[in-house]
Chains A and B, each alone.
Chain A
């Protein structure tokens, strides 16, 4: 057994870590990026591409230099530590996973994503489909040999700035059927956009399709498989991101416990407080372990992949709540302020449980995949 990273991955971790730190120096710098018209820094995105960060998220089979579960985890743990808001998840993970998993992979588009020239968002969520892979109201029908898409997609990350959209739509059957689903590529000038920021500082969009013309990428079994894989890859990335955030929360809290003095001593001197820090520490080790397992089985069979990712994401949801709430409570009032970074880490940590399946969703999926 060997639980250490390879030399190459250690280097990747170090280089990317330094790069993120140099750009995301503090919470004010992040707010600047959040407040840019696109909700993120295009400059930083381009630099990420030049440095090979996007490439590290894509397999060599499709023109990248990484793309394994471990690569995704390394990058996203760092995304979490810096709270960076660039479209790593939407374009580099979700869309490139779909484009590489369809029967005829679209290396041309993936290359454009890697090079930082093209942003593609994955529009699967709807107002009523919660976290489901197959519950789809948006529909697609053929008319004069053209696919027409109609419906509204919600919570589309970076859906305002993306030039293309991969959209899931129902070709036939009932909203809740697992068959009859298609994936389409749509030029984003064909959608009505309602962009907004999420409470944790990310850009999201409601996209309305009205007879928008789409190119069919996948249908039926292949389409559903792609959606599931994209959502699983997203859940893995978010789990690793959460792990990075938890580590920062822990460090900030420990540091504060050492410096904050009340009743003539540092508040960390109180045993009841120390015990809570120990609880946090051990739960973070649990999350780290679950993320490692999920990363290592990302390229195995779908069942093992999804079961381990669900285990990680469920744990992340539960432990994330503990860490976010304890970070605020142990700091006291200071962590309730906008000015202090801990509040922003806590907000993102909580809201990660509202993306790509919450702890309940992944507990249920774990049960299903384990034949309970």
Chain B
């Protein structure tokens, strides 16, 4: 059922929402959602607990068609599902295998690849990483330099990937590599599946400005990769890469994240004091919150308009880019106001409080600890997945005829 102009979900959709919510209430361990709420560091096992539960329920492959073990959900159902798992403070579904590689294999993989890899993704047997960005190829991804040279029965891979999220947990990595060095940037690229155990693969941590380890560098030195590990045709990897990026952009506006941050902001603004009175009574600060809420309200409808159109089979075009830009700005604004609401309480930084089982007294209110760290960490969202500057280029190029 499509969203009508009355802006309400159908009864069927509401029932679906209840089903998702009830299932999460029942199966998501409280200890895990507490960790997520407190921004504590998640272990590999933490992600796997949730993803194994999804596997058991048959909901892990929520972007896949039914015949491959997916849910076959339409865009509205996907939207509801995503909203509920974020509301429930579940760990995020690690997207690299199930949301990124899966759809590419379904569309472009050989029967052998589908039969081998898809079940392993569905059962969480393989943890995949994404090998796209390189030190010299960020916004200009097509200028990547990692090479794969044809050696008869295998490719010999040399180069370096970077910003590899959770790559330290990964068993396998899908990479964009250069197979034709003489071709123009976008033409000589291939899409290669590489086992992280192969000799010559090395993972080095990158510590981010908040002191955390989430991203990595992955180095390849004379790594032998079987020829059968190429996806699709040689030198046509760019097409598959772009196809994958359209999946990376689902839920890109992050509306449910911003909604929960807004509620958190209101709670903290009630508890923070300014001149002995709740900060939320300060007319200027509450006006800032109100304007943020208005931006978010509009963006939610913008997002639903896109979702609704997608459910009718209209693939989102530049809307994805617009939503990415606005979504990241709104989400960053929530982290900024949260930080401001705390005043000096935002200063203390106890890295050990993000470890599981930490139960000392925090400095100041318990909600204060992660706020400044989150503000700095969230600077990344307007950089990754195609920076906001690149999104603007995409929109301008696609829509203005200039």
Contacts and interface: CB of A to CB of B under 8 A. Distances in A.
A328 B382 CA distance: 10
B344 A196 contact: no
B387 interface: yes
Given A262-B139, A337-B209, A199 B383 contact: no
A336 B383 contact: yes
Contacts of A198: 347-349
A249 to B, nearest CB: 13
B180 to A, nearest CB: 18
A122 to B, nearest CB: 14
Interface of A: 125, 127-132, 135, 154-155, 175-176, 194, 196-200, 204, 206, 261-264, 267, 272-273, 321, 325, 328-329, 332-333, 335-339, 343-344, 346-347, 350-351, 353-355, 358, 360
A325 B336 CA distance: 11
Contacts of A325: 379
A130 B364 CA distance: 12
The interface centre, meaning the residue of B162, B207, B275, B285 with most chain A CB atoms within 10 A of its CB, is B275
Given A130-B274, A131-B343, 5 more contacts: A155-B348, A267-B139, A328-B379, A333-B133, A333-B138
A175 B277 CA distance: 12
Interface in B366-385: 372-373, 375-376, 379-380, 382-384
B346 A130 contact: no
B383 A333 contact: yes
B312 interface: no
B340 interface: yes
A204 B348 contact: yes
11 contacts: A128-B273, A154-B344, A199-B373, A204-B347, A273-B389, A325-B379, A328-B379, A329-B383, A333-B380, A338-B211, A351-B347
A360 B350 contact: no
A360 B163 contact: no
Nearest to A198: B347
**Closest 3 A-B residue pairs measured CB to CB?**
A343-B209, A262-B140, A199-B349
B379 A329 contact: yes
Given A135-B275, A272-B389, A329-B379, A354 B350 contact: no
B276 A135 contact: yes
A321 B340 CA distance: 11
Interface residues of B, number: 50
Given A135-B275, A343-B209, A360-B340, A333 B384 contact: yes
A161 to B, nearest CB: 17
B345 interface: yes
A88 B350 CA distance: 24
B140 A199 contact: no
Contacts of A196: 348-350, 363
Contacts of B207: 337-339
Nearest to B368: A127
A346 B209 CA distance: 10
Contacts of B5: none
Interface string B281-320: 0101100000000000000000000000000000000000
A155 B364 CA distance: 10
Contact of B138 (A199, A332, A347): A332
A127 B363 CA distance: 9
Given A197-B349, A199-B376, A360-B284, A332 B343 contact: no
Contacts of B375: 350
A360 B345 CA distance: 16
A333 B163 contact: yes
Contacts of A329: 379, 382-383, 387-388
Given A131-B344, A336-B383, A351 B372 contact: yes
Contacts of B274: 130
A206 B347 CA distance: 12
A336 B209 contact: yes
B344 to A, nearest CB: 5
Interface in B148-179: 162-163
Nearest to B277: A176
B63 to A, nearest CB: 26
A194 B392 CA distance: 48
Contact of B336 (A132, A200, A321, A347): A321
Contacts of A128: 273, 276
Contacts of A344: 209
B382 A354 contact: no
B24 to A, nearest CB: 31
Nearest to B346: A354
B376 A347 contact: yes
Contacts of A176: 275-276
Contacts of A343: 209, 376
B379 A336 contact: yes
A328 B162 CA distance: 17
A273 B387 CA distance: 13
Contacts of B336: 321
Interface string B342-358: 11111111100000000
A347 B377 CA distance: 11
A272 B211 CA distance: 32
B383 to A, nearest CB: 5
A199 B208 contact: no
A284 to B, nearest CB: 20
B39 to A, nearest CB: 13
Nearest to B377: A336
Interface string B236-277: 000000000000000000000000000000000000111110
Interface in B193-221: 206-211
Contacts of A129: 273
Contacts of B347: 155, 198-200, 204, 351, 354-355
A343 to B, nearest CB: 4
Nearest to B371: A199
A328 B332 CA distance: 13
Contacts of A353: 340
A244 B363 CA distance: 30
Interface in B115-162: 133, 136-140, 143, 162
Contact of B206 (A175, A200, A337): A337
Contacts of A351: 346-347, 372
B284 A355 contact: no
Nearest to B389: A272
A338 B346 contact: no
Contacts of A262: 137-140, 143
A336 B284 CA distance: 31
A199 B380 CA distance: 17
A154 B387 contact: no
B142 to A, nearest CB: 9
Contacts of A263: 139-140, 143
